[in-house]
Amino acid sequence: MGHRRRVPGTRRQRLSRRLADLEGRLEDAEQQLEQVENTLRGVLREANDVSLGGPCKCGESLLIVRRRTIYCPRCRYRRAI
Q: What does DSSP say about strands 78-80 and 62-66: parallel, antiparallel, or unpaired? A: unpaired
Which of residues 5 and 79 has its CB atom nearest to Zn ion in the complex? 79
Does residue 75 belong to the site contacting Zn ion (CB under 5 A)? Answer: yes
- Binding residue (CB under 5 A) for Zn ion from 30, 58, 69, 78: 58
Does residue 72 belong to the site contacting Zn ion (CB under 5 A)? Answer: yes
Instruction: Please tell me the distance from the alpha carbon of residue 55 to that of residue 76, in angstroms, as a whole number.
Output: 14
Which residues of the shown chain bind Zn ion in the complex (CB under 5 A)?
56, 58, 72, 74-75, 77
